Amino acid sequence: MTIEEQLTTPVEIGNLIGRVEQFRNEGYRLVQIGCTALGDSYEINYSFDKDYGFRNIRITIKEGTEVPSISGMYWGAFIYENEMHDLFGIRVRGMNIDFKGTLFRTTIKYPFGNPVPKGEEQ
Amino acid sequence: MTRQIIIPFGPQHPVFPEPIHLDLVLEDEKVVDVIPSIGYIHRGFEKLVEKREFPDYVYIAERTCGICSFIHGMTYCQGIEQVMNIEVPERALFLRTIWSEYSRLHSHLLWLGCFADSFGFENLFMNAWRIRERILDVLEQTTGGRVIQGACKIGGVRLDIDNEKLGRMSNDLDSIREEIDVLTTIFLRDNSIKHRLKDIGVLQKADAYQMGAVGPVARASGLAIDIRKTGYAAYGKLDLEIATEHEGDSYARCVVRARELFTSIDLIKQAIRTIPDGPVDIKVTGAPDGEYFSRSEQPRGELIHYVKGNGTKFLVRARIRTPTLTNIPPLVKMLQGCELADVPVIVLSIDPCIGCAER
Protein backbone atom coordinates (compact mmCIF):
# COMPACT_ATOMS: atom_id res chain seq x y z
CA MET A 1 0.00 0.00 0.00
CA THR A 2 1.29 3.47 -0.86
CA ILE A 3 2.02 5.47 2.27
CA GLU A 4 1.67 9.20 1.95
CA GLU A 5 4.30 11.18 3.81
CA GLN A 6 2.61 13.62 6.15
CA LEU A 7 4.60 16.25 7.95
CA THR A 8 3.03 18.01 10.95
CA THR A 9 4.79 21.02 12.44
CA PRO A 10 3.74 22.60 15.74
CA VAL A 11 3.51 26.38 15.52
CA GLU A 12 3.01 29.09 18.14
CA ILE A 13 -0.24 30.98 17.69
CA GLY A 14 1.72 34.22 17.22
CA ASN A 15 3.53 32.73 14.23
CA LEU A 16 0.45 31.26 12.60
CA ILE A 17 -0.25 34.04 10.12
CA GLY A 18 3.41 34.19 9.05
CA ARG A 19 3.55 30.44 8.41
CA VAL A 20 0.28 30.42 6.50
CA GLU A 21 1.49 33.34 4.40
CA GLN A 22 4.60 31.31 3.61
CA PHE A 23 2.48 28.41 2.39
CA ARG A 24 0.40 30.74 0.24
CA ASN A 25 3.48 32.36 -1.27
CA GLU A 26 4.92 28.93 -2.08
CA GLY A 27 1.72 28.04 -3.97
CA TYR A 28 0.12 25.59 -1.56
CA ARG A 29 -3.64 25.18 -1.54
CA LEU A 30 -5.57 25.06 1.72
CA VAL A 31 -6.87 21.54 2.23
CA GLN A 32 -8.67 21.88 5.53
CA ILE A 33 -8.73 23.34 9.02
CA GLY A 34 -9.78 20.93 11.73
CA CYS A 35 -10.05 21.08 15.49
CA THR A 36 -9.63 18.44 18.19
CA ALA A 37 -10.76 18.98 21.79
CA LEU A 38 -8.23 17.71 24.32
CA GLY A 39 -9.47 18.35 27.86
CA ASP A 40 -9.23 22.08 28.46
CA SER A 41 -7.21 22.76 25.31
CA TYR A 42 -7.71 22.47 21.58
CA GLU A 43 -5.47 21.34 18.74
CA ILE A 44 -6.12 23.11 15.46
CA ASN A 45 -4.65 21.60 12.29
CA TYR A 46 -4.13 23.68 9.17
CA SER A 47 -3.45 21.38 6.21
CA PHE A 48 -1.98 22.34 2.85
CA ASP A 49 -1.14 20.56 -0.35
CA LYS A 50 1.02 21.21 -3.36
CA ASP A 51 1.61 18.60 -6.07
CA TYR A 52 0.27 15.91 -3.71
CA GLY A 53 2.72 16.90 -0.98
CA PHE A 54 0.72 17.12 2.25
CA ARG A 55 1.87 19.56 4.94
CA ASN A 56 0.21 20.27 8.24
CA ILE A 57 0.81 22.93 10.87
CA ARG A 58 -0.71 22.76 14.30
CA ILE A 59 -1.45 25.26 17.02
CA THR A 60 -2.52 24.22 20.49
CA ILE A 61 -4.61 26.73 22.39
CA LYS A 62 -6.21 26.98 25.80
CA GLU A 63 -9.95 27.36 26.33
CA GLY A 64 -11.12 30.89 25.48
CA THR A 65 -8.11 31.82 23.30
CA GLU A 66 -8.99 33.86 20.24
CA VAL A 67 -7.49 32.63 16.97
CA PRO A 68 -6.62 34.91 14.03
CA SER A 69 -8.45 34.20 10.80
CA ILE A 70 -6.46 33.16 7.73
CA SER A 71 -9.33 34.07 5.39
CA GLY A 72 -7.39 37.16 4.29
CA MET A 73 -4.89 34.80 2.64
CA TYR A 74 -7.15 31.88 1.80
CA TRP A 75 -10.59 33.28 1.01
CA GLY A 76 -12.33 29.92 1.37
CA ALA A 77 -11.05 29.43 4.93
CA PHE A 78 -14.21 31.04 6.26
CA ILE A 79 -16.11 27.78 5.92
CA TYR A 80 -13.72 25.94 8.27
CA GLU A 81 -13.37 28.84 10.67
CA ASN A 82 -17.12 29.23 11.03
CA GLU A 83 -17.41 25.47 11.49
CA MET A 84 -14.74 25.60 14.21
CA HIS A 85 -16.68 28.35 15.95
CA ASP A 86 -20.09 26.73 15.65
CA LEU A 87 -19.05 23.23 16.69
CA PHE A 88 -16.24 23.90 19.17
CA GLY A 89 -16.86 27.48 20.33
CA ILE A 90 -13.43 28.68 19.16
CA ARG A 91 -13.46 32.45 18.64
CA VAL A 92 -11.91 33.46 15.34
CA ARG A 93 -10.87 37.07 14.81
CA GLY A 94 -11.25 38.79 11.43
CA MET A 95 -13.15 36.28 9.30
CA ASN A 96 -14.11 37.58 5.86
CA ILE A 97 -17.58 36.04 6.21
CA ASP A 98 -18.71 35.65 9.81
CA PHE A 99 -21.95 33.70 10.20
CA LYS A 100 -22.00 34.59 13.90
CA GLY A 101 -22.93 31.06 14.89
CA THR A 102 -25.51 30.33 12.22
CA LEU A 103 -23.57 28.17 9.75
CA PHE A 104 -24.36 25.00 11.73
CA ARG A 105 -27.67 25.54 13.49
CA THR A 106 -27.33 22.86 16.16
CA THR A 107 -29.72 22.44 19.08
CA ILE A 108 -26.83 22.14 21.51
CA LYS A 109 -24.48 25.10 21.34
CA TYR A 110 -20.86 24.14 20.58
CA PRO A 111 -21.61 20.39 20.69
CA PHE A 112 -17.98 19.30 20.21
CA GLY A 113 -16.44 21.82 22.57
CA ASN A 114 -16.24 22.54 26.23
CA PRO A 115 -18.73 24.80 28.11
CA VAL A 116 -20.02 27.91 26.37
CA PRO A 117 -17.57 30.89 26.51
CA LYS A 118 -18.50 33.79 28.74
CA GLY A 119 -20.71 36.37 27.05
CA GLU A 120 -22.08 33.90 24.50
CA GLU A 121 -24.56 32.07 26.70
CA GLN A 122 -28.05 31.93 25.23
CA MET B 1 -28.33 53.35 -7.66
CA THR B 2 -30.15 50.04 -8.13
CA ARG B 3 -32.07 48.87 -5.10
CA GLN B 4 -30.81 45.63 -3.58
CA ILE B 5 -33.16 42.93 -2.39
CA ILE B 6 -32.46 39.65 -0.62
CA ILE B 7 -34.20 36.50 -1.82
CA PRO B 8 -34.06 33.39 0.37
CA PHE B 9 -33.29 30.40 -1.85
CA GLY B 10 -33.90 27.02 -0.20
CA PRO B 11 -33.51 25.12 2.04
CA GLN B 12 -36.37 23.35 0.24
CA HIS B 13 -36.27 23.81 -3.51
CA PRO B 14 -37.35 21.53 -6.38
CA VAL B 15 -33.79 21.16 -7.70
CA PHE B 16 -32.11 20.55 -4.35
CA PRO B 17 -31.82 16.89 -3.43
CA GLU B 18 -30.88 18.02 0.07
CA PRO B 19 -31.44 21.20 2.09
CA ILE B 20 -29.08 24.15 1.69
CA HIS B 21 -30.08 27.74 2.20
CA LEU B 22 -28.76 30.65 0.16
CA ASP B 23 -29.51 34.29 0.79
CA LEU B 24 -29.20 35.84 -2.67
CA VAL B 25 -28.52 39.57 -2.77
CA LEU B 26 -30.01 40.82 -6.05
CA GLU B 27 -29.86 43.97 -8.13
CA ASP B 28 -32.74 43.53 -10.55
CA GLU B 29 -32.22 39.94 -11.78
CA LYS B 30 -28.47 39.87 -11.15
CA VAL B 31 -26.99 38.12 -8.12
CA VAL B 32 -24.40 40.40 -6.55
CA ASP B 33 -23.70 38.42 -3.39
CA VAL B 34 -24.55 35.10 -1.77
CA ILE B 35 -24.58 34.01 1.84
CA PRO B 36 -24.85 30.22 2.18
CA SER B 37 -25.95 28.44 5.31
CA ILE B 38 -26.27 24.78 6.18
CA GLY B 39 -27.02 22.94 9.41
CA TYR B 40 -30.44 21.48 8.61
CA ILE B 41 -29.24 17.88 8.64
CA HIS B 42 -26.25 17.98 10.98
CA ARG B 43 -26.13 14.55 12.62
CA GLY B 44 -23.04 14.80 14.81
CA PHE B 45 -21.39 11.73 13.25
CA GLU B 46 -17.94 12.84 14.37
CA LYS B 47 -19.09 12.96 17.97
CA LEU B 48 -20.22 9.33 17.79
CA VAL B 49 -16.61 8.24 17.74
CA GLU B 50 -16.65 8.69 21.52
CA LYS B 51 -19.35 6.04 21.87
CA ARG B 52 -18.35 3.47 19.25
CA GLU B 53 -15.25 1.30 19.29
CA PHE B 54 -12.97 2.06 16.37
CA PRO B 55 -13.74 -1.13 14.35
CA ASP B 56 -17.48 -0.38 14.61
CA TYR B 57 -17.07 3.23 13.51
CA VAL B 58 -16.70 1.95 9.93
CA TYR B 59 -20.50 1.58 9.91
CA ILE B 60 -20.92 5.20 11.01
CA ALA B 61 -18.35 6.46 8.49
CA GLU B 62 -20.20 4.65 5.69
CA ARG B 63 -23.47 6.29 6.60
CA THR B 64 -22.03 9.77 6.14
CA CYS B 65 -23.27 9.59 2.56
CA GLY B 66 -25.85 7.55 0.72
CA ILE B 67 -24.06 7.89 -2.61
CA CYS B 68 -20.39 7.32 -1.92
CA SER B 69 -20.75 5.33 1.28
CA PHE B 70 -18.16 2.77 0.26
CA ILE B 71 -15.47 5.41 -0.22
CA HIS B 72 -16.19 6.90 3.19
CA GLY B 73 -15.79 3.51 4.84
CA MET B 74 -12.63 2.76 2.88
CA THR B 75 -11.02 6.12 3.67
CA TYR B 76 -11.70 5.70 7.37
CA CYS B 77 -10.25 2.17 7.28
CA GLN B 78 -7.17 3.43 5.44
CA GLY B 79 -6.58 5.97 8.21
CA ILE B 80 -6.73 3.36 10.96
CA GLU B 81 -4.59 0.95 8.93
CA GLN B 82 -1.89 3.60 8.51
CA VAL B 83 -1.86 4.40 12.23
CA MET B 84 -1.68 0.71 13.16
CA ASN B 85 0.78 -0.22 10.39
CA ILE B 86 -1.55 -2.84 8.98
CA GLU B 87 -0.51 -4.35 5.66
CA VAL B 88 -3.75 -4.90 3.76
CA PRO B 89 -3.69 -7.85 1.31
CA GLU B 90 -3.25 -6.83 -2.34
CA ARG B 91 -6.46 -8.45 -3.50
CA ALA B 92 -8.44 -6.41 -0.96
CA LEU B 93 -6.85 -3.20 -2.27
CA PHE B 94 -7.92 -4.09 -5.80
CA LEU B 95 -11.45 -4.92 -4.67
CA ARG B 96 -11.61 -1.58 -2.84
CA THR B 97 -10.57 0.14 -6.06
CA ILE B 98 -13.20 -1.71 -8.08
CA TRP B 99 -16.02 -0.83 -5.66
CA SER B 100 -14.79 2.76 -5.43
CA GLU B 101 -15.03 3.15 -9.20
CA TYR B 102 -18.49 1.56 -9.31
CA SER B 103 -19.46 4.13 -6.66
CA ARG B 104 -18.11 6.91 -8.87
CA LEU B 105 -20.04 5.56 -11.86
CA HIS B 106 -23.32 5.49 -9.99
CA SER B 107 -22.70 8.89 -8.41
CA HIS B 108 -21.87 10.59 -11.70
CA LEU B 109 -24.87 8.99 -13.42
CA LEU B 110 -27.08 10.12 -10.56
CA TRP B 111 -25.69 13.63 -10.92
CA LEU B 112 -26.13 13.68 -14.70
CA GLY B 113 -29.77 12.75 -14.17
CA CYS B 114 -30.33 15.41 -11.50
CA PHE B 115 -28.52 17.97 -13.65
CA ALA B 116 -30.72 17.16 -16.67
CA ASP B 117 -33.73 17.55 -14.39
CA SER B 118 -32.47 20.97 -13.24
CA PHE B 119 -32.61 22.32 -16.77
CA GLY B 120 -35.85 20.56 -17.63
CA PHE B 121 -34.65 17.57 -19.68
CA GLU B 122 -36.79 14.88 -18.03
CA ASN B 123 -36.15 12.17 -20.59
CA LEU B 124 -32.40 12.46 -20.17
CA PHE B 125 -32.84 12.28 -16.40
CA MET B 126 -34.65 8.95 -16.74
CA ASN B 127 -32.08 7.56 -19.16
CA ALA B 128 -29.17 8.40 -16.85
CA TRP B 129 -30.88 6.74 -13.94
CA ARG B 130 -31.82 3.69 -16.00
CA ILE B 131 -28.12 3.06 -16.71
CA ARG B 132 -27.32 3.75 -13.07
CA GLU B 133 -29.58 0.86 -12.09
CA ARG B 134 -27.20 -1.53 -13.85
CA ILE B 135 -24.34 -0.21 -11.72
CA LEU B 136 -26.39 -0.54 -8.53
CA ASP B 137 -27.27 -4.10 -9.51
CA VAL B 138 -23.56 -4.98 -9.61
CA LEU B 139 -22.97 -3.36 -6.23
CA GLU B 140 -25.88 -5.34 -4.81
CA GLN B 141 -24.74 -8.61 -6.36
CA THR B 142 -21.19 -8.23 -5.07
CA THR B 143 -21.77 -6.68 -1.63
CA GLY B 144 -25.41 -7.25 -0.82
CA GLY B 145 -26.16 -3.54 -0.59
CA ARG B 146 -27.25 -0.96 -3.15
CA VAL B 147 -26.78 2.11 -0.98
CA ILE B 148 -24.72 1.03 2.00
CA GLN B 149 -22.32 -1.69 0.91
CA GLY B 150 -20.79 -2.63 4.26
CA ALA B 151 -17.99 -4.39 2.39
CA CYS B 152 -14.98 -2.61 3.88
CA LYS B 153 -13.37 -3.36 7.20
CA ILE B 154 -10.15 -2.54 8.94
CA GLY B 155 -7.56 -4.93 7.54
CA GLY B 156 -9.25 -5.59 4.20
CA VAL B 157 -12.71 -6.31 2.89
CA ARG B 158 -15.49 -8.58 4.13
CA LEU B 159 -16.29 -10.18 0.80
CA ASP B 160 -14.40 -11.51 -2.17
CA ILE B 161 -15.60 -11.52 -5.77
CA ASP B 162 -14.67 -14.72 -7.57
CA ASN B 163 -12.73 -14.39 -10.80
CA GLU B 164 -15.58 -15.76 -12.90
CA LYS B 165 -17.89 -13.04 -11.64
CA LEU B 166 -15.18 -10.42 -12.22
CA GLY B 167 -14.97 -11.60 -15.84
CA ARG B 168 -18.73 -11.19 -16.27
CA MET B 169 -18.56 -7.71 -14.72
CA SER B 170 -15.87 -6.76 -17.19
CA ASN B 171 -17.98 -7.97 -20.12
CA ASP B 172 -21.05 -6.11 -18.81
CA LEU B 173 -19.01 -2.93 -18.64
CA ASP B 174 -18.61 -3.06 -22.42
CA SER B 175 -22.34 -2.76 -22.96
CA ILE B 176 -22.65 -0.21 -20.15
CA ARG B 177 -19.96 1.84 -21.89
CA GLU B 178 -21.99 1.80 -25.10
CA GLU B 179 -25.08 3.06 -23.26
CA ILE B 180 -23.05 5.76 -21.49
CA ASP B 181 -21.57 6.77 -24.82
CA VAL B 182 -25.04 7.42 -26.24
CA LEU B 183 -26.11 9.27 -23.09
CA THR B 184 -23.07 11.53 -22.82
CA THR B 185 -23.15 12.31 -26.53
CA ILE B 186 -26.53 13.97 -25.93
CA PHE B 187 -25.20 15.86 -22.90
CA LEU B 188 -22.15 17.10 -24.75
CA ARG B 189 -23.52 17.78 -28.24
CA ASP B 190 -27.11 18.91 -27.76
CA ASN B 191 -27.36 22.59 -28.65
CA SER B 192 -30.05 23.40 -26.11
CA ILE B 193 -27.92 21.92 -23.30
CA LYS B 194 -24.85 23.80 -24.48
CA HIS B 195 -26.87 27.00 -24.69
CA ARG B 196 -28.11 26.46 -21.13
CA LEU B 197 -24.71 25.66 -19.60
CA LYS B 198 -21.97 27.46 -21.55
CA ASP B 199 -20.48 30.50 -19.79
CA ILE B 200 -22.77 29.94 -16.79
CA GLY B 201 -21.18 29.95 -13.33
CA VAL B 202 -17.61 30.46 -14.47
CA LEU B 203 -14.84 29.70 -11.97
CA GLN B 204 -11.40 30.79 -13.13
CA LYS B 205 -8.41 28.53 -12.52
CA ALA B 206 -6.72 30.93 -10.10
CA ASP B 207 -9.93 31.34 -8.08
CA ALA B 208 -10.48 27.60 -8.00
CA TYR B 209 -7.00 27.04 -6.55
CA GLN B 210 -7.14 29.93 -4.12
CA MET B 211 -10.55 28.91 -2.79
CA GLY B 212 -9.64 25.26 -2.37
CA ALA B 213 -11.92 23.77 -5.05
CA VAL B 214 -11.61 20.02 -5.42
CA GLY B 215 -12.84 17.24 -7.67
CA PRO B 216 -14.63 17.87 -10.97
CA VAL B 217 -15.18 21.51 -9.92
CA ALA B 218 -11.41 22.06 -9.80
CA ARG B 219 -10.68 19.92 -12.85
CA ALA B 220 -13.24 21.80 -14.97
CA SER B 221 -11.28 24.97 -14.20
CA GLY B 222 -8.04 23.43 -15.43
CA LEU B 223 -6.60 22.14 -12.15
CA ALA B 224 -5.33 18.59 -12.55
CA ILE B 225 -5.91 17.60 -8.92
CA ASP B 226 -6.97 14.01 -8.34
CA ILE B 227 -6.04 12.25 -5.09
CA ARG B 228 -6.11 8.89 -6.86
CA LYS B 229 -2.73 9.98 -8.21
CA THR B 230 -1.26 9.55 -4.71
CA GLY B 231 -1.64 5.81 -5.32
CA TYR B 232 -3.85 4.74 -2.42
CA ALA B 233 -5.67 1.38 -2.63
CA ALA B 234 -4.56 -0.11 -6.00
CA TYR B 235 -4.53 3.16 -7.96
CA GLY B 236 -0.73 3.24 -7.90
CA LYS B 237 -0.75 0.10 -10.09
CA LEU B 238 -3.25 1.38 -12.65
CA ASP B 239 -2.97 3.89 -15.48
CA LEU B 240 -5.08 6.92 -14.67
CA GLU B 241 -5.60 9.86 -16.96
CA ILE B 242 -7.03 12.92 -15.22
CA ALA B 243 -9.93 14.51 -17.12
CA THR B 244 -9.57 18.29 -17.17
CA GLU B 245 -11.28 21.13 -18.98
CA HIS B 246 -10.35 24.79 -18.97
CA GLU B 247 -13.50 26.87 -19.38
CA GLY B 248 -14.55 26.59 -15.73
CA ASP B 249 -18.27 26.90 -16.55
CA SER B 250 -21.21 24.59 -15.84
CA TYR B 251 -20.75 22.89 -19.21
CA ALA B 252 -17.09 22.13 -18.43
CA ARG B 253 -18.09 20.55 -15.12
CA CYS B 254 -20.57 18.39 -17.03
CA VAL B 255 -17.90 17.41 -19.57
CA VAL B 256 -15.44 16.41 -16.84
CA ARG B 257 -17.95 14.13 -15.14
CA ALA B 258 -18.99 12.62 -18.48
CA ARG B 259 -15.35 11.85 -19.32
CA GLU B 260 -14.77 10.42 -15.84
CA LEU B 261 -17.42 7.78 -16.46
CA PHE B 262 -15.17 6.30 -19.15
CA THR B 263 -12.11 6.65 -16.93
CA SER B 264 -13.87 4.67 -14.20
CA ILE B 265 -14.81 1.90 -16.62
CA ASP B 266 -11.19 1.72 -17.82
CA LEU B 267 -9.90 1.58 -14.24
CA ILE B 268 -12.29 -1.22 -13.28
CA LYS B 269 -11.33 -3.23 -16.35
CA GLN B 270 -7.63 -2.69 -15.64
CA ALA B 271 -8.14 -3.76 -12.02
CA ILE B 272 -10.06 -6.88 -13.08
CA ARG B 273 -7.28 -7.81 -15.52
CA THR B 274 -4.52 -7.45 -12.93
CA ILE B 275 -6.11 -8.38 -9.60
CA PRO B 276 -3.91 -10.91 -7.79
CA ASP B 277 -5.19 -14.01 -6.06
CA GLY B 278 -4.91 -14.30 -2.30
CA PRO B 279 -6.64 -13.46 0.95
CA VAL B 280 -8.89 -10.40 1.27
CA ASP B 281 -8.35 -9.54 4.92
CA ILE B 282 -6.03 -10.00 7.84
CA LYS B 283 -6.73 -10.26 11.53
CA VAL B 284 -6.37 -6.99 13.38
CA THR B 285 -5.33 -6.81 17.02
CA GLY B 286 -4.55 -3.89 19.27
CA ALA B 287 -5.79 -0.32 19.12
CA PRO B 288 -4.64 2.75 17.20
CA ASP B 289 -2.19 5.09 18.89
CA GLY B 290 -1.34 7.99 16.61
CA GLU B 291 -2.95 10.10 13.93
CA TYR B 292 -3.34 10.20 10.16
CA PHE B 293 -5.07 12.30 7.53
CA SER B 294 -6.46 9.65 5.21
CA ARG B 295 -7.20 11.04 1.76
CA SER B 296 -9.16 9.65 -1.16
CA GLU B 297 -10.91 10.87 -4.30
CA GLN B 298 -14.66 10.77 -3.87
CA PRO B 299 -16.90 11.39 -6.91
CA ARG B 300 -17.14 15.02 -5.72
CA GLY B 301 -13.46 15.43 -4.96
CA GLU B 302 -10.90 15.07 -2.23
CA LEU B 303 -12.20 13.42 0.94
CA ILE B 304 -10.32 13.40 4.23
CA HIS B 305 -10.88 11.23 7.26
CA TYR B 306 -8.62 12.42 10.07
CA VAL B 307 -8.27 9.85 12.83
CA LYS B 308 -6.46 10.25 16.12
CA GLY B 309 -6.19 7.43 18.63
CA ASN B 310 -4.66 7.13 22.09
CA GLY B 311 -4.17 3.38 22.29
CA THR B 312 -7.69 2.63 23.51
CA LYS B 313 -10.67 1.20 21.62
CA PHE B 314 -12.19 4.67 21.38
CA LEU B 315 -10.66 7.28 19.09
CA VAL B 316 -9.94 10.76 20.42
CA ARG B 317 -11.11 12.33 17.17
CA ALA B 318 -12.53 11.40 13.81
CA ARG B 319 -12.91 14.34 11.50
CA ILE B 320 -14.48 14.08 8.08
CA ARG B 321 -13.71 16.84 5.59
CA THR B 322 -15.95 16.31 2.63
CA PRO B 323 -15.53 17.78 -0.86
CA THR B 324 -18.88 19.57 -0.82
CA LEU B 325 -17.87 21.54 2.28
CA THR B 326 -14.73 22.80 0.59
CA ASN B 327 -16.60 23.50 -2.67
CA ILE B 328 -19.02 25.91 -0.97
CA PRO B 329 -16.65 28.95 -1.11
CA PRO B 330 -16.06 28.39 -4.88
CA LEU B 331 -19.84 28.12 -5.29
CA VAL B 332 -20.24 31.57 -3.74
CA LYS B 333 -17.76 32.91 -6.29
CA MET B 334 -19.58 31.21 -9.20
CA LEU B 335 -22.91 32.69 -8.19
CA GLN B 336 -21.69 36.27 -7.90
CA GLY B 337 -22.74 38.07 -11.07
CA CYS B 338 -25.06 35.38 -12.42
CA GLU B 339 -28.75 35.75 -13.29
CA LEU B 340 -31.32 34.56 -10.77
CA ALA B 341 -32.66 32.00 -13.27
CA ASP B 342 -29.22 30.36 -13.48
CA VAL B 343 -28.83 29.77 -9.73
CA PRO B 344 -30.36 26.24 -9.68
CA VAL B 345 -28.14 25.03 -12.53
CA ILE B 346 -24.99 26.51 -10.99
CA VAL B 347 -25.69 25.04 -7.55
CA LEU B 348 -26.33 21.62 -9.10
CA SER B 349 -23.15 21.91 -11.17
CA ILE B 350 -20.95 21.43 -8.09
CA ASP B 351 -22.85 18.19 -7.32
CA PRO B 352 -23.64 19.25 -3.76
CA CYS B 353 -23.98 16.53 -1.14
CA ILE B 354 -25.21 18.32 1.94
CA GLY B 355 -25.56 15.15 3.99
CA CYS B 356 -21.82 14.64 3.51
CA ALA B 357 -20.96 18.26 4.18
CA GLU B 358 -22.86 18.44 7.44
CA ARG B 359 -22.11 14.97 8.74
SS (H, E, C) B86-136: CCCCHHHHHHHHHHHHHHHHHHHHHHHHHHHHHCCCHHHHHHHHHHHHHHH
Residues of A in contact with B316 (CB under 8 A): 36, 38
CB contact under 8 A, B42 and A106: yes
CB contact under 8 A, B308 and A36: yes
Mean confidence (pLDDT) of chain A: 84
Q: Does B51 touch chain A (CB under 8 A)?
A: no
A118: closest CA of chain B, how far (Å): 23
Q: Does A36 touch chain B (CB under 8 A)?
A: yes
Q: Does B38 touch chain A (CB under 8 A)?
A: yes
**pLDDT of amino acid B51:** 82
Nearest to A76 among B295, B308, B329 (CB): B329
More confident: A68 or B15: A68
| Arithmetic mean of pLDDT, B268-293 | 92
What's the pLDDT tens digit per position in B314-331? 888 888 989 988 888 888
What's the pLDDT tens digit per position in A46-56? 999 998 889 99
Say how far apart CA A6 and CA B14 lie, in whole Å.
43
Mean confidence (pLDDT) of chain B: 89
Task: Provide the percentage of residues in chain B whose pLDDT is more than 90.
Answer: 44
- Cβ pair B45, B32 in contact under 8 A: no
Domains annotated on chain A, with CATH: 6-93 (3.30.460.80)
What's the pLDDT tens digit per position in B74-112? 999 999 999 998 999 999 999 999 999 999 999 999 999
SS (H, E, C) chain B: CCCEEEEEECCCCCCCCCCCEEEEEEECCEEEEEEEECCCCCCCHHHHHHCCCCCCHHHHHHCCCCCCHHHHHHHHHHHHHHHCCCCCCHHHHHHHHHHHHHHHHHHHHHHHHHHHHHCCCHHHHHHHHHHHHHHHHHHHHHHCCCCCCCCEECCEECCCCCHHHHHHHHHHHHHHHHHHHHHHHHHHHCHHHHHHHCCCCCCCHHHHHHCCCCHHHHHCCCCCCCHHHHCCCCHHHCCCCCCCCCCCCHHHHHHHHHHHHHHHHHHHHHHHHHCCCCCCECCCCCCCEEEEEEEEEECCEEEEEEEEEECCCCCCEEEEECHHHHHHHHHHHHHCCCEHHHHHHHHHHCCCCHHHHHC
Residues of B in contact with A76 (CB under 8 A): 210-212, 326, 328-330
**pLDDT of amino acid B44:** 76
Nearest to B329 among A2, A75, A111 (CB): A75
Nearest to B39 among A35, A54, A105 (CB): A105
CB contact under 8 A, B316 and A36: yes
Residues of A in contact with B10 (CB under 8 A): none
More confident: A76 or B44: A76
Lowest model confidence (mean pLDDT) among A39-43, B257-261, B355-359? B355-359
Topology given in CATH for the domain delimited by B39-358: Cytochrome-c3 Hydrogenase; chain B (1.10.645)
Confidence of residue A122 (pLDDT cuts 50, 70, 90): very low
B67: closest CA of chain A, how far (Å): 22
- Give the pTM: 0.90
CB contact under 8 A, A54 and B42: no
Nearest to B44 among A30, A37, A111 (CB): A111
